[in-house]
Amino acid sequence: MHISEKLALSRAEGKPTFSFEFFPPKTAQGVQNLYDRMDRMHDFGPTFIDVTWGAGGTLSHLTCEMVKVAQSVYGLETCMHLTCTDMEKSKLDDALKEAKLAGCSNILALRGDPPREKEKWEATSGGFRYAKDLVKYIRERYGDYFDIGVAGYSEGCDDNEDVDELIDHLKEKVDAGATFVVTQMFYDTDLFLEWVAKVRAKGIDIPIIPGIMPIHTHAAFLRRANWTRCNIPKHWTEALEPVKNDDVEVRAVGRDLVAEMCRKLIDAGILHLHFYTMNLAQATRMVLEELELLPDLESPLQKPLPWRPSLGLNRRDENVRPIFWRNRNRSYVARTQDWDEFPNGRWGDARSPAFGELDAYGVGLKGTNAQNIKLWGSPESIQDISDLFVRYMSGKLDSLPWSEAPISNEADTLTKDLIDLNRRGFLTINSQPAVNGAKSSHLVYGWGPRNGYVYQKAYLETLVSPEHIAELITRIERDPGMTYYAVNRDGDLKTNTPGDGPNAVTWGVFPGKEIVQPTIVETVSFLAWKDEFYKVGKEWANCHSSVSPSRYVIEDVMDTWYLVNIVHNDFHIDHGIFPLFEGLQVADMDKPLHRLEVPNGNATNGAPNGESTTNGQKSTLNDLVDAAKSAAETVTQGINGLAVSSN
Amino acid sequence: MHISEKLALSRAEGKPTFSFEFFPPKTAQGVQNLYDRMDRMHDFGPTFIDVTWGAGGTLSHLTCEMVKVAQSVYGLETCMHLTCTDMEKSKLDDALKEAKLAGCSNILALRGDPPREKEKWEATSGGFRYAKDLVKYIRERYGDYFDIGVAGYSEGCDDNEDVDELIDHLKEKVDAGATFVVTQMFYDTDLFLEWVAKVRAKGIDIPIIPGIMPIHTHAAFLRRANWTRCNIPKHWTEALEPVKNDDVEVRAVGRDLVAEMCRKLIDAGILHLHFYTMNLAQATRMVLEELELLPDLESPLQKPLPWRPSLGLNRRDENVRPIFWRNRNRSYVARTQDWDEFPNGRWGDARSPAFGELDAYGVGLKGTNAQNIKLWGSPESIQDISDLFVRYMSGKLDSLPWSEAPISNEADTLTKDLIDLNRRGFLTINSQPAVNGAKSSHLVYGWGPRNGYVYQKAYLETLVSPEHIAELITRIERDPGMTYYAVNRDGDLKTNTPGDGPNAVTWGVFPGKEIVQPTIVETVSFLAWKDEFYKVGKEWANCHSSVSPSRYVIEDVMDTWYLVNIVHNDFHIDHGIFPLFEGLQVADMDKPLHRLEVPNGNATNGAPNGESTTNGQKSTLNDLVDAAKSAAETVTQGINGLAVSSN
């Protein structure tokens, strides 16, 4: 959506709003950290974010990449900066094309910031001369597709101190087609408001968005003031000077000064504030908190859907997803990014597109081996893995290989049951409780427009050891209210669902609307998820040395355990799924797993597996597989049609 | 669906099933009566019906028409008879094409019955010689599209008494591609079962459907036995002869004899019975009742959707319709028959197709003027119309111009409120109560698969006099839970719905399925319904002489009253809509309406209106319109944006 449109909407509500600016970090780890931060800062509720143009080389490519990820994965309305003086036309065309493909419809058209490593702006040959040329060019090429912002310099810019002349330039940019103005940072609100009055007097009536620079450290405060040559009001200096050696105090005093400035702007009718976050969250968060603009726990942001909607190309109407990726949002978006159409209203419409190949999108385990071992330790038995899962379910661990975020408070009512299940060796992957018509404003379960009701069918996804799969399925099939899918790594699928149509497990009823059913369980997507699930598990195993017990025990689970999902279709019944597991307990959980004794007599306790060894041991691996298979078959005797194999 | 498939499904359940044969009546009134009868006989739950081939001339066209109506409007799986010996190939091609276009996928391929008015079959030149040629031809042209039935003669046919030779012929027809057999009528079950054994011994293993002729009268019983030369078992004659002069007794004895025969067939493993209804319901119903095969009130037929699904071409997946046509199913099917796609899952997908033109499909008032006046009388005041509506709401009147069937028992909980409203001059057209999750097996509200829950938002559609429309809208808009549309004949629309998306007012949640939302309220379809509504009302007025007070009072309502629909979106609240009308009452309802005094002094009380009068009175009509407009405007002062006009 266009920024100017969003501003008009919130202006109509008389509500102050804000936005965040980020820049492309220099290292891969920095990028990952920034993504995580952008993800968290989504919850502050910015109207949009923008990403500065990484002039030249890989950094400009990174800008496009960040815009795409912010739009698609994090569902943040994103504005891409674009500078013109240091750009070939072809590169500019590429950037605009990429922005459009990413679903981005907002550009901040700039003449050209100095590259971050230089201190001074330099015009380069080629490309356009002025920002207005760029504005004109975008309008010519793309019509009204992009909302186009331009810079405003309330206290002059680095090569021109004549504010009036700069307002004339601004008028030219507006006449060329700009639809909003973002200003340079400033500290002197009076000067700024005078400038706004002058701009308005020139007949410029598009939104003016003040750029706000929170105070992170005293040194940075001075450096930035110096760099932009903006005026520092006397009372700012008086307040900051005495505490300048105490970073904590600087931030507290800075928060008050900046918040005071923001209040003055809001009182003057300037309802939208643009924060230069410098890729940091804290100083900005403190100001927003002081202004009481952050959503609080009692009335969090109204969620439009139970999952974070993507704003990627053609995705704005997407409103149905399989439940399986709930804890791996990013991989779902990546794997479906090439779909021509996204399901809207029902899953059926989008059943044809295949899920992208696992390898094509870097869908896998996050973090380095060392980081992951630090995080999840070196389990040597099912007991160790179970303990890990119990810690996650208890909120004492922030992630698991398949869950990139801490367990959601939605699972609170299930915590006891989940911990109990994991203690008994059922490793739970995903779950939701039954909800029989909670208000759409409900703090935990609510989503969608006001005055509606939301519903859920109880759902549980869990790993089941081969010793229990037969009994569990027998129990599930005894209850006509339950539907399930069970699959092992090889894709031997067992299910009692009628047909292969989707099962809606989350839906909402709203005034004046069709029923919305944003989460479903369904065959094709479950099989795609299964591949991803076992691949991630395999990668977790591979974090450990090939001769380690950890590698062996995790691999054993991946090779022989079943991934099972169960839906209790009667959403009037609480906790209906857990009784299925009554009395089931994985045997000898605390026994460190040993390599199986294989026919040729090679003792394999703790020995390396086939993958990283020499030819000689190849047969050993196959023998192992056979042995495991025959063991599994013994277990599953009596399950009609349920093939079990272990590789 | 293919008949052989349907038979296989019910055979798997071990459930006896049945089907009905109809033939094209000779008069238009006969056709209408038969449609009504087919509609009612749908509720008996036949697996399919078939329509005999009206050999030659208009009757053959009627067969195609009946097949189409049965499939599309009444949702009956239909098999079309087709004879070949008296047919040009081109005519045959047309018939097959029409059948396919009607959504019919079952053909009974016959050599050729004698036309009903002749007593003897005659081969005509041209076309095919044997039924097997026709079977082969259909298979060549249409592959597996059609299921093809052929006739079986267990006691010989009119020109061949050699049963064994006829079995050889049957084998040839099966080898040519026939997939089921329907037999000639018979009374001797033993003979029949012997014949079945012989047929099976010949290696014919497709389903054999016995043709059952219920006994309507003694004369018909004898005539048919004579005509088909079938054996009458001795105990039949002994039972019928003594009562032959008492029609009621004949039917009772006949019922027992035929039921006994059917039981013997079922016991022999022949689970499907095909009834030659002779276009009559009673004798067949009596046999089915005796066999306990009719659905009873305690466990009626499982309704797949809250409305009768069509089996027309491309319509089998249709599962969303606007609520407005609930009481005019046939006109909805007619007006949408040319759509390329039917909404499935959500209305949004089918929003583009326009509703057919009113005139193109004969969408209008049923019955002749005389019939309608007999039915609805000659109202001379609003009070008279109100009384008529009250009688309908009380179940004492079987139809209204806009409701072709008696009021549904779904409205039972609303009866008191509806009667009260109509007494006060609000003429209610359609309504449903709020349902907050009834079992899908619920006797009144239930539909869809077992173990599900169904929901409804409360809905009311009513005519509102100009004197109350402003106040009513003010009251509705005060409640954030209500959405409404109000429109007059000219299409001046007022609504408070957000956007123009549909509002689901009936939906169901079922195990392992997406949410089904079969009924919606929405702008475009409401405007199409509005046109139909006022057209039907106008036609009701036109049943009365142009100089009658009835014509005037009905026309006045059509010209000036508003059609309003109201949805109470909170389905947890019962009877939420009716309090809106508290204290409102149409004034002077019992005063016979007079023509308005118009400026040029023409007294118009009871005078003819413009439509059927001479030139001189044209201006009078216009004046009337102006006067009515200005009266209406006075009433609606203060309704912002709600234009009112009266013509």
Residue A149 predicted with pLDDT over 90 = yes
Check residue B636 and give its pLDDT: 36
- Nearest CB among B483, B501, B572 relative to A514 is that of B501
Within-domain flag for B641: no
Domain count within chain A? 2
Residue A119 predicted with pLDDT over 70 = no
Q: What values do phi and psi take at A577, rounded to 5? A: -85, -35
Last residue of a domain, one of A572, A593, A614: A593
Q: Cβ separation of B346 and A514 shorter than 8 Å?
A: yes
How far apart CA A69 and CA A376 sit, in angstroms, is 27
The per-residue pLDDT for range B552-563, each reduced to its tens digit, is 999 999 999 999
- Mutation site, A454, A515, A521, interface B, largest B CB count within 10 A: A515
The per-residue pLDDT for range A236-278, each reduced to its tens digit, is 999 999 999 999 999 999 999 999 999 999 999 999 999 999 9
Q: Please tell me the distance in Å from A516's CA to the nearest CA on chain B.
A: 9
Q: Cβ separation of B512 and A520 shorter than 8 Å?
A: no
Mean pLDDT of B326-343: 88
Residue B609 predicted with pLDDT over 70 = no
Residue B124: give its domain's CATH number: 3.20.20.220
Residue B328 predicted with pLDDT over 50 = yes
The per-residue pLDDT for range A587-622, each reduced to its tens digit, is 989 887 655 444 444 444 443 443 333 333 333 444
Residue B645 predicted with pLDDT over 70 = no
Residue at token pair 């900046």 = A258
Q: Cβ separation of B349 and A347 shorter than 8 Å?
A: no
Task: Say whether both A191 and A55 belong to one domain.
Answer: yes
The per-residue pLDDT for range A198-249, each reduced to its tens digit, is 999 999 999 999 999 999 999 999 999 888 889 999 999 999 999 999 999 9
CB B566 within 8 A of CB B482: yes
Within-domain flag for A267: yes
Least confidently predicted of A161-175, A392-406, B107-121: B107-121
Q: Please tell me the distance in Å from B528's CA to the nearest CA on chain A.
A: 19
Mean pLDDT of A399-416: 90
Within-domain flag for B180: yes
How far apart CA B9 and CA A201 sit, in angstroms, is 80
Check residue B266 and give its pLDDT: 96
Check residue B159 and give its pLDDT: 75
Task: Say whether both A377 and A286 belong to one domain.
Answer: no
Q: Which residues of B touch A (CB under 8 A)?
A: 344-349, 436-437, 451, 453, 455, 480-481, 483, 497-499, 501-504, 507, 509-515, 517, 520, 567, 569-572
Q: Cβ separation of B511 and A348 shorter than 8 Å?
A: no
How sure is the predictor about A448, in pLDDT bands with cuts at 50, 70 and 90?
A: very high
In chain A, residues with a C-beta closer than 8 Å to the C-beta of B513 are: 498, 501-504
Q: Cβ separation of A512 and B345 shorter than 8 Å?
A: no
Task: Say whether both B500 and B624 belong to one domain.
Answer: yes
Q: Return the number of CB contacts < 8 Å for A and B.
A: 100
Check residue A189 and give its pLDDT: 96
CB A312 within 8 A of CB A298: no
Task: Say whether both B106 and B239 belong to one domain.
Answer: yes
In chain B, residues with a C-beta closer than 8 Å to the C-beta of A501 are: 512-514
- DSSP letters, B374-434, are HHH----SHHHHHHHHHHHHTTSSS-BTTBSSPPPGGGGGGHHHHHHHHHTT-EEEEEE--
- Nearest CB among A453, A483, A501 relative to B514 is that of A501
Task: Say whether both B405 and B529 belong to one domain.
Answer: yes
Residues of B annotated as catalytic (active site), given as ranges: 21
Q: What values do phi and psi take at B138, rounded to 5? A: -65, -40
Q: Cβ separation of A503 and B497 shorter than 8 Å?
A: no
Residue at token pair 């004659």 = B237
Q: What is the CA radius of gyration of chain A?
A: 28
How sure is the predictor about B605, in pLDDT bands with cuts at 50, 70 and 90?
A: very low
Task: Say whether both B161 and B105 belong to one domain.
Answer: yes
Which residues, listed in sequence order, are joined to residue B487 by a DSSP beta bridge?
Answer: B493, B563
Task: Say whether both B239 and B101 belong to one domain.
Answer: yes
Q: What values do phi and psi take at A303, rounded to 5? A: -85, 125
- Report the b/e string of A253-268 with b at 16+ CB within 10 A: bbbebbbbbbeebeee
Within-domain flag for B526: yes
Go through chain B and tell me how many residues it has: 647
Of the candidates A214, A217, A219, A220, the residue with the CA atom closest to the CA atom of residue A260? A214
Mean pLDDT of A510-538: 94
Q: Cβ separation of B347 and A514 shorter than 8 Å?
A: yes
Within-domain flag for B308: no
Q: What is the dihedral of CA A454, A457, A458, A460, to 10 degrees?
A: -110
Check residue B593 and give its pLDDT: 65
Residue at token pair 């044997």 = B130
Mean pLDDT of A277-284: 92
- Nearest CB among B507, B569, B572 relative to A512 is that of B569
Mean pLDDT of B34-61: 87
Last residue of a domain, one of A261, A290, A319: A290
CB A20 within 8 A of CB A34: no
Of the candidates A513, A521, A522, A519, the residue with the CA atom closest to the CA atom of residue A453? A513
Q: What values do phi and psi take at A413, rounded to 5? A: -70, -15
Task: Say whether both B429 and B332 belong to one domain.
Answer: yes
How sure is the predictor about A457, in pLDDT bands with cuts at 50, 70 and 90?
A: very high
Q: Cβ separation of A511 and B481 shorter than 8 Å?
A: yes
Q: Please tell me the distance in Å from A498's CA to the nearest CA on chain B.
A: 7
Mean pLDDT of B397-414: 90
The per-residue pLDDT for range B214-225, each reduced to its tens digit, is 999 999 999 998
- Please state, rounded to an integer, the average pLDDT across all residues of chain A: 87
DSSP category for residue A400:
B
Task: Say whether both A269 and A381 belong to one domain.
Answer: no
Residues of A annotated as catalytic (active site), given as ranges: 21
3-state secondary structure of A301: coil
Task: Say whether both B327 and B207 belong to one domain.
Answer: no
Least confidently predicted of A383-397, A615-629, B249-263: A615-629
Residue B304 predicted with pLDDT over 80 = yes
In chain A, residues with a C-beta closer than 8 Å to the C-beta of B481 are: 451, 511
Within-domain flag for A639: no
- Nearest CB among A345, A347, A512 relative to B348 is that of A345
Residue B646 predicted with pLDDT over 70 = no
Task: Say whether both A255 and A373 belong to one domain.
Answer: no
| C-alpha angle B490-B491-B494 in degrees, rounded to nearest 5 | 130
Of the candidates A503, A544, A546, the residue with the CA atom closest to the CA atom of residue A522? A503
Task: Say whether both B258 and B340 belong to one domain.
Answer: no
Within-domain flag for A72: yes
Mean pLDDT of A447-466: 96
In chain B, residues with a C-beta closer than 8 Å to the C-beta of A345 are: 345-346, 348-349
- Nearest CB among A345, A497, A571 relative to B346 is that of A345
Last residue of a domain, one of B290, B309, B343: B290
Check residue A340 and give its pLDDT: 81
Q: Please tell me the distance in Å from B515's CA to the nearest CA on chain A.
A: 6
How far apart CA B168 and CA B160 sit, in angstroms, is 12
Residue in chain B closest to A482 (alpha carbons) equals B511
Domain of B201 in residue numbering reads as: 3-290
Q: What is the dihedral of CA A545, A549, A553, A554, to 10 degrees?
A: -20
How sure is the predictor about A633, in pLDDT bands with cuts at 50, 70 and 90?
A: very low
Within-domain flag for B337: yes
How far apart CA B569 and CA B480 sit, in angstroms, is 9
